[in-house]
Structure formats: C-alpha cells, structure tokens
A = this chain, B = another copy of it.
Amino acid sequence: MSERTAAGTDTSTGAGNASPAAVRPTIRMVADLAGVSTATVSYVLSGRGSGSKGPGVKEETTRRVRDAAEELGYRPNQAARAVRTGKTQTVLLSMTMLQDPWSLEVVEAVSAQARSHGLTPLIMADDDWNVALERTQADAVFIDAVKPAQRSALAGLASRGLKLVVFDSTVEPDGFDVVRSDDLRGCRELVDHLLDGWDDVACLGPGASRTDRGRAAAFHSALADRGRTAPENRVADIDGSPESAYAGALKLLTPEDRPRAIYATSDYIAISAVHAAQSLGLVVGKDIAIAGVGNTLAGERLSPALTSVGPRNLLGRVAELMVQLATDQRPVGELHDFPWEVWERASTGKPV
C-alpha cells in the first residue's frame, strides 16, 4: 500500500494475480459497471429502491446493480456513510469489569437484540472511559458504572449528541438515560423471607466489591431487627472468586450442625454453593435451601433453579432501550427504575 514495491519497476504485474490489489471498489465503480448513476446504486444497495419508501427502481436495473456490486465485491464504506447520515449502525458497551459474569450477560443480551436490528455491538473494556468516549460515534452507549470523578463528564458527552445509558444509582438523568435498580430493599426482602421459613440461615459472602458488602449488611440488619446476631460459623467471607465461594460453602456445610439455609450475596456465589452442597451429597431444596441475589439467567437455568431476588428481565429491557435510542425511536434523558422482586424457585424447596 503505502510501501513501495521492493526494488521493482513494474508494480502492476504479479503473474495475473486474481486479487484486485487493495483498491476498494467504490459506489461509483459499481455505477459505471452497471451503467447507471451512483444515486441508483445507493438506492438499490441500501434497500431503499423497493418498498413504499423510496423511488422504486426498475426490476431489471436492480438486478444489474446487484450483479455489478457482487462482481466487484463492493462493500459500502461505513465511515463515508456515517459522515452523511450521522449514524454508525453501532452500539457500544462500556464495561469496567469484563471478568464479572454479569457483564457478560449484559453483553449477551444487548448484542443479541442489537444484531437483530442490524446494529453491530462493540465492547470497550476500560474503567477510564472518558477519553475513549470522546471519540466514539456509536449510535448508543451503555455505561455500566461511573466513578465519582467521571460523574461530571456525562452531561458533556450527552450534549455532544451521544446517546448514553448509564447504569448507576448515584446519578440523575441529564441529557442521558439512567437505569436504576436498587438492590438493597430487595435483598432485605429476600433475607426476611428466608428468616421466616428457616430458623438457621447462614450468609455466604460478601466478596470484595462494595455492592456485595451492602448485600451482606442487609443480612445482618434483618437479623438485628429480630433481636438476633449471626454466630461466627454462620458467616463465610470470600474473595469473590468462584473457587473461594466454593470453599466457603464447603466450610459452612461440612460440619454436622450445618445451617438450614444459605443466603449468598450474588447468584454466582450461590451457584458455587449449590455445586459445593451437591458434592457433599446434599439435596439442594430439601436438605439445604440456597438463595442468591441478582436474578441472573445463569441462576434461572441452574438445576435446581435458583431462588433469587432481582428485577424482572432487566437485561432484556436495557437491550430494548439501547436499540430504541440508537434508532431514534425514543427521546433521551429518561430515568428507568427497575424494582426488585423475590423469585422463589426450586433451590429453596418450592418446585419450579
């Protein structure tokens, strides 16, 4: 390309190579080959040549254009298209903790929805997104967490025309959308439910995160409100990794006088606990009740299905929101609150 052909004089030979060098065919070349104007090619190729919308193009012309495009291997230049239309056909997910399974569920949910609408989902893994988002031109951007120092940058990005969906409970809409989903009230509800049904409930977690610690606090305050405190052997702190969750669950469950129920501070921790219990020969939902937090897909799919607390279909609705924003089917700047509910499933005894 920009390199000079090594020491050669004739650059265009090459034994009749089939590859058309690195010259990318443009819409004009297609037009020339098909014997029509670039406008017509544009109509045909952007699917606007037929249907009720655009200026119907004749069947025969359509075919000629398609053939020419095919023959040249034409692919539209997205950058040029974006300059003209202001759209990139792209949604961006800014994920600070890609190693977190929840992030992957978000990615999965939004990607599926986006793809089905012709949008390309892209991920940006950087907790310091300020710089990178300045440049992006995605049609909609999801931000999974905002650090205090970043809070002020959001409105600026939005005023630039970027459509932001911010998942954070410490922030108010201001030209961008906010998805809020308060977990603490829900956690408390779940713990109360467990304490009502089982006399001896243990807490597995928290892991390292602040979120987890808040969820563990809900356990202790629920106990406190009943005039009780948790014995030491009914609490297992872990570091957040699946293995340490597994190990922590073993520690809780191995002794003879094991608890009757386990409240885990996330679904993923709960899933590890279910596996640990099963490895000890316990029947989950009968010998031991286990519940998690988050109402994740992974928990719902587990066998036995995991009792949990969380919003109804949060991911699906976020995905839908992203698509609607990207396609201008919805105004920006709204607050979306997803209340939490308890989902009782087989892992605490209730059949599915």
Q: Which residues of A contact B (CB under 8 A)?
A: 1-3, 19-20, 22, 24, 73, 75-80, 82-83, 88-89, 92, 98-99, 101, 104, 107, 111, 115, 120-126, 132, 134-137, 155-156, 159-161, 175, 241-247, 272, 275-276, 279, 328, 331
Query: If A3-B328, A24-B160 touch, does A275 touch B243 (CB 8 Å cutoff)?
Result: yes
List chain B residues, Cβ under 8 A from A88. Answer: 79
List chain B residues, Cβ under 8 A from A161. Answer: 1, 22, 24
Distance, CA A76 to CA B160, complexed state (A): 11
Cβ contact within 8 Å between A99 and B104: yes
Residue of B with least CB distance to A122 = B122
Distance, CA A75 to CA B158, complexed state (A): 13
Query: If A125-B123, A242-B243 touch, does A73 touch B137 (CB 8 Å cutoff)?
Result: no
Q: List 18 A-B contacts (CB under 8 A).
A: A1-B161, A3-B331, A22-B159, A73-B156, A75-B135, A79-B80, A79-B83, A79-B137, A82-B82, A98-B98, A115-B126, A120-B132, A121-B124, A122-B122, A122-B123, A122-B124, A243-B275, A247-B279
Give the Cβ gap from A129 to chain B, nearest Cβ, in Å.
10
List chain B residues, Cβ under 8 A from A1. Answer: 161, 328
Give the Cβ gap from A71 to chain B, nearest Cβ, in Å.
14
Cβ contact within 8 Å between A77 and B83: yes
Residue of B with least CB distance to A88 = B79
Give the Cβ gap from A29 to chain B, nearest Cβ, in Å.
14
List chain B residues, Cβ under 8 A from A328. Answer: 1-3
Contact of A135 among B89, B156, B241 (CB under 8 A): B89
Contact of A134 among B75, B241, B242 (CB under 8 A): B75
List chain B residues, Cβ under 8 A from A126. Answer: 111, 115, 121
List chain B residues, Cβ under 8 A from A24. Answer: 160-161
